[in-house]
A and B are shown apart, each in its own frame.
Chain A
């Protein structure tokens, strides 16, 4: 018979019976998978993202430390020479590293002060988006009666170009940081809320959640172990993208004249000031320096946000 032929050919001395180990028997099916460790592992495999992460960390540190470094000028002080004349449009020098602007303010310190303003706006908008989006989204998904109302509000907001809403709100309210934060938050929570709503509807009654509940898993554990991993990738992505968006909106609003007032240094104000020298090649650095810093920040945050978003998606962990 065929099976006999096969067994005859096998050298029995190569094999031995395993002993029964009750501990190993219990280990079957256990994996030492850890969500955050896998996320970080996948993230650190992406070299570009790691480089940009260090760029972002250094930038953040630098914006905080910069005012305390030696030989820094105040971003709003108008510098004058010995005769009391304004030091207008000085080229970059050892004293004024990026030169001075048309009324004698130090461009180097204005850029970092502007970056602080923009990062603050971006992070605030991102956090508001998270809170409002997750809150509205879960109500939207759980409370059936509210579904048509929130859906209509969602439809109205998403039917109008975002730029128009931004302009309308910035036009109506007093110019300032708060106005920009409000104007951006009004439109931004919608996609987060919609995502959370769909997630709630899809995942709430999945078998593994049902099983978890039947086994008596407390709600906070279900939320943190079963739901949160799905949210983390989107949260990180949206938070990282809020910063380029905030900078872009601020630059745009300042450009059309309803952004931040001139006395608050911001990347928008700097680019707007620099734009006046677009026809003067010798002074064009006043536009180039802020845009260079702005581009580095926005690209770093964008690429890093996407990489972290991918890494924190459990589907990419295998």
Chain B
């Protein structure tokens, strides 16, 4: 077990280094306007621009830049923002923003887990009846329609129907409800669909006939046999849903003006703040790698048969 975790950890570190290097090299291909801002591009003359670029270390050879970048990273320094908030350290900006993203992301994950799993249980129990059909309809809609579309409609209509605030407000607890709910919708569909499938698989197994023959109540069979056994394979969707939540946070945060990292990324892209985009892309990748690592470890803890294959995870 500990050997597995160690091996898996080592692989995550390797992936991390590869990702950081690739992102760094890709960002060097960006047009250099991203280092002056819209105002700067017009005002500064060529020699001033050159001086700024040299100051930022962008005229050094690539390998020196990369070494500088890594040594700064080791010190926890992601560089300074260029346009979004000129000359403010990016770590400082992220420290202000991250708590909102983490709070909303985690609460939406928890919400999706509870609601999605119970929806899956109900759908499996009511197989081919109305509840199952409605659930399937929901899953199809959520999986087929691009998220941005139903996010927009949630913001447009649910705010009116339930008299909830349209935009996020730190001091107003009810403004948390819709973003969390919207972010959870996709994961609810995923969990419900897989939970239903695993439970239906489980329902056809022989040991259930024995359980019925023993005279166990249908309720007990469902809860302590079927649902419990179906939960084990469900764990493998946790990492994927973490990745999905990260993706969703980018839309949701900018749509509801939540002062988190996803909204920040959209702002940074629109302002073409190269340094900030680079730092945020790295942050999100790190969260993704970390989430998958934790998911795999959790799965190995639950199911001792799982070993580290060279073929990679279940995604």
CB distance from B137 to the nearest CB of A (A): 10
**Measured CA separation A298–B26 after assembly (Å):** 33
Interface string of B277-303 (1 = CB under 8 A from A): 100010011001100100000000000
Name the CB-closest residue of A to B274.
A171
**Measured CA separation A299–B138 after assembly (Å):** 11
B246 close to A (CB within 8 Å): yes
CB distance from B59 to the nearest CB of A (A): 20
**Measured CA separation A171–B276 after assembly (Å):** 13
The answer to whether B246 touches A294, judged by C-beta atoms less than 8 angstroms apart, is no
The answer to whether B19 touches A299, judged by C-beta atoms less than 8 angstroms apart, is no
User: With A252-B146, A256-B270, A295-B149 in contact, do A167 and B265 touch (Cβ < 8 Å)?
Assistant: yes
B224 close to A (CB within 8 Å): no
CB distance from A51 to the nearest CB of B (A): 14
**Measured CA separation A194–B26 after assembly (Å):** 26
CB neighbours (8 Å) of A158 from chain B are 312-313, 315
CB neighbours (8 Å) of B289 from chain A are 159-160
CB neighbours (8 Å) of A257 from chain B are 266, 269-270
The answer to whether B251 touches A252, judged by C-beta atoms less than 8 angstroms apart, is yes
The answer to whether B29 touches A172, judged by C-beta atoms less than 8 angstroms apart, is yes
CB neighbours (8 Å) of A198 from chain B are 311
CB neighbours (8 Å) of B270 from chain A are 256-257
A303 close to B (CB within 8 Å): yes
Instruction: Indicate which residue in A155, A161, A251, A303 contacts B140 across the interface (CB closer than 8 Å).
Output: A303
**Measured CA separation A156–B16 after assembly (Å):** 8
Instruction: Indicate which residue in B22, B26, B152, B310 contacts A278 across the interface (CB closer than 8 Å).
Output: B152
Instruction: Indicate which residue in A148, A152, A167, A298 contacts B269 across the interface (CB closer than 8 Å).
Output: A167
Instruction: Indicate which residue in A154, A172, A255, A295 contacts B145 across the interface (CB closer than 8 Å).
Output: A295
CB distance from A267 to the nearest CB of B (A): 9
The answer to whether A151 touches B311, judged by C-beta atoms less than 8 angstroms apart, is yes
- Determine the main DSSP class of A at the interface with B: helix
B211 close to A (CB within 8 Å): no
CB neighbours (8 Å) of A251 from chain B are 146, 148-149
**Measured CA separation A244–B146 after assembly (Å):** 7
Instruction: Indicate which residue in B145, B153, B156, B288 contacts A159 across the interface (CB closer than 8 Å).
Output: B288
Q: Range of interface residues on chain A?
A: 35 or more
A258 close to B (CB within 8 Å): yes
Interface string of A176-200 (1 = CB under 8 A from B): 0000000000000001001001100
The answer to whether B243 touches A162, judged by C-beta atoms less than 8 angstroms apart, is yes
**Measured CA separation A295–B142 after assembly (Å):** 10
User: With A162-B247, A278-B152 in contact, do A299 and B145 touch (Cβ < 8 Å)?
Assistant: yes
Name the CB-closest residue of B to A272.
B148
A204 close to B (CB within 8 Å): no
The answer to whether A155 touches B285, judged by C-beta atoms less than 8 angstroms apart, is no
The answer to whether B146 touches A159, judged by C-beta atoms less than 8 angstroms apart, is no
**In the complex, which residues 234-259 of chain A have their Cβ closer than 8 Å to any Cβ of chain B?**
244, 247-249, 251-252, 255-258
Q: Range of interface residues on chain B?
A: 35 or more
The answer to whether B155 touches A164, judged by C-beta atoms less than 8 angstroms apart, is no
CB distance from B290 to the nearest CB of A (A): 10
CB neighbours (8 Å) of B156 from chain A are 278, 284, 287
Instruction: Indicate which residue in B30, B153, B288 contacts A164 across the interface (CB closer than 8 Å).
Output: B288
**In the complex, which residues 127-160 of chain B have their Cβ closer than 8 Å to any Cβ of chain A?**
140-141, 143-149, 152-153, 155-156
Interface string of A293-309 (1 = CB under 8 A from B): 01100110111000000
B18 close to A (CB within 8 Å): yes
B11 close to A (CB within 8 Å): yes
CB distance from A218 to the nearest CB of B (A): 30
**Measured CA separation A189–B10 after assembly (Å):** 26
**Measured CA separation A161–B245 after assembly (Å):** 9
The answer to whether A151 touches B310, judged by C-beta atoms less than 8 angstroms apart, is yes
B27 close to A (CB within 8 Å): yes
User: With A164-B284, A172-B27, A302-B144 in contact, do A278 and B155 touch (Cβ < 8 Å)?
Assistant: yes
CB neighbours (8 Å) of B247 from chain A are 161-164
Interface string of B5-42 (1 = CB under 8 A from A): 00000011011001100110011011000000000000
CB neighbours (8 Å) of B254 from chain A are 256
The answer to whether A258 touches B269, judged by C-beta atoms less than 8 angstroms apart, is yes
The answer to whether B27 touches A160, judged by C-beta atoms less than 8 angstroms apart, is no
**Measured CA separation A167–B284 after assembly (Å):** 12
The answer to whether A168 touches B266, judged by C-beta atoms less than 8 angstroms apart, is no
Which of A252, A284, A301 has its CB near the most chain B CB atoms (within 10 A)? A252
A291 close to B (CB within 8 Å): yes
CB distance from A271 to the nearest CB of B (A): 7
**Measured CA separation A204–B12 after assembly (Å):** 32
B250 close to A (CB within 8 Å): yes
CB neighbours (8 Å) of B19 from chain A are 156, 159-160
**Measured CA separation A303–B142 after assembly (Å):** 12
User: With A158-B312, A257-B269 in contact, do A167 and B145 touch (Cβ < 8 Å)?
Assistant: no
CB neighbours (8 Å) of B269 from chain A are 167, 171, 256-258
Known A162-B243, A299-B140; further 15 A-B contacts with Cβ < 8 A: A152-B15, A155-B313, A156-B15, A159-B12, A160-B284, A161-B284, A163-B247, A164-B284, A252-B147, A256-B250, A256-B266, A257-B270, A271-B152, A278-B155, A299-B145
